Amino acid sequence: MSFNIWALAIVKSLGVGLPASQVVLMRALVGLTVLLPFVIYKGGVKPLTHSGLQILRILLSTLAMTGSYFGVAKLPFALFTTVNFTRPLLMMTLAALILGERIHPKQWLAGGIGLVGIVIATDPASLGAGSALGLAALFVSVIAGTFAVIILRRMRNEDPLAQMIWQTAGLAMLSALPAALFWQSPGAQWPVLLSVGLFSQTAQFCFMRAHYWAEAGVIAPLGYSSLILSVSVGYFIFHEVPSLSLFLGAALIIGAALLAGHKRKRR
């Protein structure tokens, strides 16, 4: 979680001057470099059996990452993190519509509370043009990223390393053209830009190992503590002071997500 926060903080500091597609490309290239020793150790990459779903997942992941990097550059750090907390609620809805999973009335109520929290946290009336555009990109990122996770759930039997390799390679290929068209020289910021890929790939590895070693019900609530890190980074590094409405909206969203994910006790 800390690695991911620092990667996003670097993106936020660079995103004002560099196109999001260029940052995505560099993140993907560094990610491939980090994964290469694992490929050599495993003796190659296993083929994927659901190639069509994998291609769709790559497209959605590229859209999600580009929108996320664009949004974090335009929005306060705490607001960016708060909006991302809506992913479990959106996941619940998509799981019901696409996977046919049963959603209880309590969970639908949680979804409604989450929507109220979004309106309060974002406070649309106070957003400027740049912030509104960043918020729109972030919502697209959340939707695309959640669809990508839905697809991932349909591909549980695929080799994890193969999925990471093909997704990272797909990110590089899809972001190469827009990055080339709008390329801006990073100048002396090359080491900082390269660290985005290193921190992001490390965060992804830690995330996967955490879910391997611990239950999702234990890890998920810990993820909400990232708001504390985001508020701290936003305040001390970017001099952003969160509003009371942001904290109120975040409390409603987090509470709704926890309510939606709470399992009823069996008799």
For the CA atoms of 98, 100, 102, 107, the dihedral, rounded to the nearest 10 degrees, stands at: 0
Cα separation of 84 and 54, whole Å? 23
Residue closest to 27 by CA, chosen among 193, 234, 141, 203: 193
* Joined tokens for residue 139: 């919502």
Better-predicted residue by pLDDT, 196 or 219: 196
* pLDDT at residue 75, rounded to an integer: 92
DSSP code, position 266? P
* Joined tokens for residue 244: 């009371």
Residue closest to 92 by CA, chosen among 265, 252, 256, 209: 256
* Joined tokens for residue 83: 């909006």
218 pLDDT above the threshold of 50: yes
* Domain ranges for the chain: 2-182+191-261
Better-predicted residue by pLDDT, 45 or 157: 45
pTM for this one? Answer: 0.85
Q: For the segment 79-104, what is each residue's pLDDT rounded down to a tens digit?
A: 999 999 898 888 888 877 877 778 78
Residue with tokens 């555009």: 133
Average pLDDT score, the chain: 85
